Structure 1
């Protein structure tokens, strides 16, 4: 006699993401806030299908991978710049030139994500512009205050005193923790120092690197209620 234990349970299908067409909405929500992107939160079987998902890619503003790419390229520009010939080609591409790559350095730019082929023609990438901005900007030490943190999105909002102290900017929470060595729960209200390009015209162009826990409290920033970091 066959035994019946009730209807077989089938997990309800999750709604598709309306932006990409390759992931579920839940997967993209997770991927946007993770350096692993969407592909790092799915099975081996489905990973190839979501590998290039734009919802979590570094070319999509405000994703975790986009924020990390800004930091990576800025540090590359200031700490380990590309060779002069490669930078010259990158600047030529930024100016719209289609000059020949006489030195054969275009593959170096591609490898670092600074340039790409568009319809078979060499072109600068958004990260290439970030690199050149980092080369041309004045970067200096800045005092920052951690306003609050979001443990789910793994981000923190910080005020940059020398930029726009009343306009918090979003940075990766794990970047602050890795740089400073501080505990996550100790960050809200904390004063830190970092390197910044305080001449940036928008929050998206402001890139903070090298967070440290040795920042003095700026004069005039004593807050009512004892919030002194």
Structure 2
């Protein structure tokens, strides 16, 4: 995912490095959406070691890290799950997404593609098992990469995806593993796995 600096001539790249309009920490940017998916997939497919996750949970609960937690903290930091704030270890929002993906029930659910915006590379989808009629924005590249479909074929199409249907709002709903919908048995309506 190229951020602003990836679209800038070399001589100006340093000026726009870390631009908030394309940062993983800026809600609803493409980089933020990609980071949510990455953290969710990490939690589900390649979770960190138990002791590293224990430290992340302690940080989430407001506990202080111990001096000997340095190697564990570095593993969280390199993954973007924790950071230093005023020289103290702290969980990031991405770390909270990771923990939510570890704890929340996820299920394969039916979705319908409402529309596609090829200019900004997003698609809006409806997830009936979450909130029928409330479109959610997802990255077009993620849908195309997972399904192998063409963007022009997506509007109105029924698909399935893994979802955390207990999410409190669209910013916390993370869809992964998009698939073409082939039969009714592909879908579990209700949000539990």
Q: Same fold (TM over 0.5)?
A: yes
Which of 97, 109, 114 aligns to 1:147? It is: 114
Contact 2:33–2:139 (Cα < 8 Å) also in 1:
yes
Q: Return the offset for 1:102.
A: 3.1
Give the Cα separation in 2 of the matches to 1:215 and 1:132. Answer: 32
Contact 2:65–2:89 (Cα < 8 Å) also in 1:
no
SS of residue paired to 2:68: coil
Give the Cα separation in 1 of the matches to 2:126 and 2:39. Answer: 22
CA RMSD of aligned residues (A): 1.3
The structure with more helix, counted as a fraction of residues: 2
Confirm whether residue 206 of structure 1 aligns to residue 173 of structure 2: yes
Q: TM-score, normalised by structure 1?
A: 0.78
Give the Cα separation in 1 of the matches to 2:35 and 2:152. Answer: 25
Gaps of 5+ in 1: 1-34, 219-229
> What residue is the counterpart of 2:189 in the other structure?
none
Q: Return the offset for 1:48.
A: 1.2
Contact 1:143–1:215 (Cα < 8 Å) also in 2:
no
Contact 2:23–2:32 (Cα < 8 Å) also in 1:
yes
Q: TM-score, normalised by structure 2?
A: 0.92
Give the Cα separation in 2 of the matches to 1:189 and 1:217. Answer: 17
Assess, with a 3 A threshold, how the Cα gap between structure 1 residues 147 and 207 changes in structure 2: closer, same or farther.
same
Residue by residue over 1:153-211, the C-alpha shift from the partner in whole angstroms, topping out at 9 and shown as x without a partner, is 11111000111111010000111000000011000000001100001110100000000
Q: Return the offset for 1:51.
A: 1.0
Larger Rg: 1
Q: Return the offset for 1:212.
A: 0.4
Give the Cα separation in 1 of the matches to 2:90 and 2:144. Answer: 35
Contact 1:90–1:115 (Cα < 8 Å) also in 2:
yes
> What residue is the counterpart of 2:47 in the other structure?
81
Gaps of 5+ in 2: 186-193
Q: Return the offset for 1:216.
A: 3.6
Greater RCO structure (CA 8 Å; 6+ sep): 2
Give the Cα separation in 2 of the matches to 1:53 and 1:99. Answer: 30
Which of 178, 189, 201 aligns to 2:145? It is: 178
Give the Cα separation in 1 of the matches to 2:105 and 2:180. Answer: 22
Where in structure 2 are the equivalents of 1:119-138 lying within 5 Å? 119-138=86-105
Q: How many residues align?
A: 184
Q: Return the offset for 1:37.
A: 1.1
Give the Cα separation in 2 of the matches to 1:217 and 1:183. Answer: 23
